[in-house]
Amino acid sequence: MNKLNFNRLLIPLLSILMGLLVGAIVMLIGGYDPIRGFSSLFEGMVGSPYAIGETLRAAAPLVFSGLAVAFAFRTGLFNIGVEGQVLIGWVAAVYVGINFDLPMFIHLPLAILAAMLAAAAWAFVPGFLKAKFHVHEVITSIMMNYIALYTTNAILRSVIGVTNERTESINESASLASPWLQELTQFSRLHWGVLIAVLAAIVYYYILQRTTLGYELRAVGFNKHASQYAGMSVNRNIILSFVISGMFAGLAGAMEGLGTFNGMTLSASFTGVGFDGIAVALLGANTAIGVVLAAILFAGLNIGGLAMQLGANIPSELVKVIIAAIVIFVASGYAFNYVIDKFKGNRKKGVEKK
């Protein structure tokens, strides 16, 4: 047990180190100075209250999209449609944020709820089609992403009435923004969403590990045949899992609409939040705490990448290479285990000889 926990921590840490090493090598090949690169990268990640604020701010939506992907994974499903669900959640939150005038304690929760419900409804589609028609959820989700993209723009134009690329700003009563947090972090865009993110991670853990529903969802995820024999409704669970996953995704959209951007822009391409969520979920081993940590790391590297551009003139694409390398190394945990075991084995033998 002990050894297991040890390796579970050691491997991500080693992976991060090796990922950075890969980054350094690529920097050298590209003719850049790795020391300067990394110092401005870290500076930009955590080097100032501003950096920390932006890192946490950027982590919030990733926590949600990561949880969304992880939740589906834990129940045996691949929700590659988080991207589209984020967009739908975002537009719903902004709609409520703009079109209602309510006291904050009603308005803000209402806007968040709207995001969750809209995204859940979006996620219902692949779940339902899988359950009823055996349609592979991966294709449906991919298709639903594109549909979301165009539908969102159409809603922004025809329902919210955007003519000039961007919605008006949401009413303050629906905003997650906090002048206090912003000031504290030298005008980063840190907002109250980070608290909701932490809360969501706890809820995620709670649903899966503590509730009866979680027991059932995980059982179906592991073995749907046995679950069916045991009297669980596989179809209901598939749909439910997608719907809950969609709710997390919707929250990611709410973070963007009510926290970071206070509105929404007509978008011609995907936000990337959903796709990054896949990597975050997997790096975090689909556990609540893992997802939170992975999201912070991702966000930090992304934000730090901007500073790296400024401080060392290194293109921020490099950050993508580093993140990818880290994920590949984490995924290759078996190889690490093997090497670690070999290393330990050799050492033990060495000791025995003496």
Partner 1 sequence: MSFLEVLYIVVPVALAYATPLIIAALGGIFSERSGVVNIALEGIMVIGAATGIITTLTLTDMGLGGLSPWISLLIAMVVGALFSLFLAVPAILWRADQTVLGVAINMLAIGLAIFVVRVLYNKGQTDFIEYRIAKENVPILSDIPVLRMFFINVQYTSFIAILLAFVVWFVIFKTPFGLRLRSVGEHPMAADTMGINVTKMRFMGVMLSGAFGGLAGAVYAVTVTTNFSGTTIVGQGFLAIAAMIFGKWNPLGALGAGLFFGFAQALSIIGSNLPVISNVPQVLLLIAPYALTILALAGVVGRADAPKSVGIPYIKGKR
Partner 2 sequence: GGDDNEGASNGEGGGEGSNFKVAMVTDTGGVDDKSFNQSAWEGLTKFGEDNNLTENEGFKYLQSSKQADYQPNLQQLARDNFNLIYGIGFLMGEDIQKVAEQFPDNNFAIVDMVVDAPNVASITFKEQEGSFLVGVVAGLTTKTDKVGFVGGVESDLIKKFENGYKAGVMAVNPDATIDVKYAEDFNSAEKGTAIASGMYGAGSDIVYHAAGGTGVGVFTEAKNRKKNGEDVWVIGVDRDQYEEGLPENVTLTSMVKRVDTATYEVSKLAMEDKFPAGEIVEFSLKDDGVGIAETSSENVSADVLAKVEEYRTQLIDGDITAPATDAEFEEFMKTVK
Partner 3 sequence: MEYVIEMLNIRKEFGTFVANDNITLQLRKGEIHALLGENGAGKSTLMNVLFGLYQPEGGEIRVRGEKVNIENPNIANDLGIGMVHQHFMLVEKFTVTENIILGSEPKSGLTVDRATARKKVMDISEQYGLRIDPDAKIEDISVGMQQRVEILKTLYRGAEILIFDEPTAVLTPQEIQELIQIMKRLIEEGKSIVLITHKLKEIMQVADRCTVIRRGRYIGTIDIDETVNEDRLAEMMVGREVNFNAEYSKADPQQVVLDVQKLVVKDSRGLEAVDGLDLQIRSGEILGIAGIDGNGQTELIEAISGLKKPESGKVLLNGKDVTGFTPRKVTESGVGHIPQDRHKHGLVLDYTIRDNMVLQTYYKEPFSKRGLMNYKAVAEKAKALIEKFDVRTPSVDVPARALSGGNQQKAIIAREVDRSPDLLIAAQPTRGLDVGAIEFIHEQLIKEREKGRAVLLISFELEEILHVADRVAVLYEGKIVGIRDPKETTEQELGFLMAGGKRGEETV
Ligand X SMILES: Nc1ncnc2c1ncn2[C@@H]1O[C@H](COP(=O)(O)OP(=O)(O)OP(=O)(O)O)[C@@H](O)[C@H]1O
For 98-101, the CB contacts below 8 A with 24+ separation are 98/160, 98/167, 98/168, 98/169, 98/170, 98/171, 98/263, 99/160, 100/171, 100/174, 101/171, 101/173
Write the interaction track for partner 1 spanning residues 142-171; mark x where CB under 8 A is met and - where it is not.
Answer: xxx-xx--xx-xx-----------------
- Of 233, 267, 332, 337, which lies in the binding site for partner 3, with binding defined by CB under 8 A? 233
Name the binder of 131 from partner 3, ligand X, partner 2, none, CB < 5-8 A by kind.
ligand X
Per-position b or e across 320-348, b if 16+ CB within 10 A of its CB: eebbebbbebbeebeebeeebeeeeeeee
- Which of residues 134 and 353 has its CB atom nearest to partner 1 in the complex? 134
Are residues 156 and 263 in contact, defined by beta-carbon separation less than 8 angstroms?
A: no
Give the interface segment with ligand X, choosing from 63-71, 88-96, 131-139, 202-210 (CB under 6 A).
Answer: 131-139
Give the interface segment with partner 1, choosing from 5-13, 233-241, 256-264, 332-340 (CB under 8 A).
Answer: 332-340
- Sign of the CA dihedral running 322, 328, 330, 335: negative
Q: Is 340 in the site for partner 1 (CB under 8 A)?
A: no
Q: Is 130 in the site for ligand X (CB under 6 A)?
A: yes
Rounded CA-CA distance 54/46 in Å is 9
Give the interface segment with partner 3, choosing from 102-110, 154-162, 173-181, 212-220 (CB under 8 A).
Answer: 212-220
Q: Exposed, middle or buried, 203 (CB in 10 Å: 0-12/13-18/19+)?
A: middle
Name the binder of 18 from partner 3, partner 1, ligand X, none, CB < 5-8 A by kind.
none
CB of 327 to partner 1, least distance (A): 4
Q: Is 235 in the site for ligand X (CB under 6 A)?
A: yes
DSSP character at residue 58: H
Are residues 175 and 97 in contact, defined by beta-carbon separation less than 8 angstroms?
A: yes
**What values do phi and psi take at 334, rounded to 5?**
-60, -40
Give the interface segment with ligand X, choosing from 22-30, 159-167, 227-235, 344-352 (CB under 6 A).
Answer: 227-235
Q: Is 59 in the site for partner 1 (CB under 8 A)?
A: no
- Give every CB contact of residue 343 below 8 A, 6+ residues apart in sequence: none
Between helix 273-283 and helix 234-254 the angle, nearest 10°, is 120
- Of 110, 121, 224, 331, which lies in the binding site for ligand X, with binding defined by CB under 6 A? 224
Rounded CA-CA distance 112/170 in Å is 13
Residues that bind partner 3 (CB under 8 A): 210-216, 218-219, 222-223, 225-233
Residues that bind partner 1 (CB under 8 A): 26, 29-31, 78, 80, 125, 129, 133-136, 138-140, 142-144, 146-147, 150-151, 153-154, 269-270, 275, 278-279, 282-283, 315, 317-321, 323-325, 327-328, 330-335
Residues that bind ligand X (CB under 6 A): 130-131, 134, 136, 224, 228, 234-235, 238
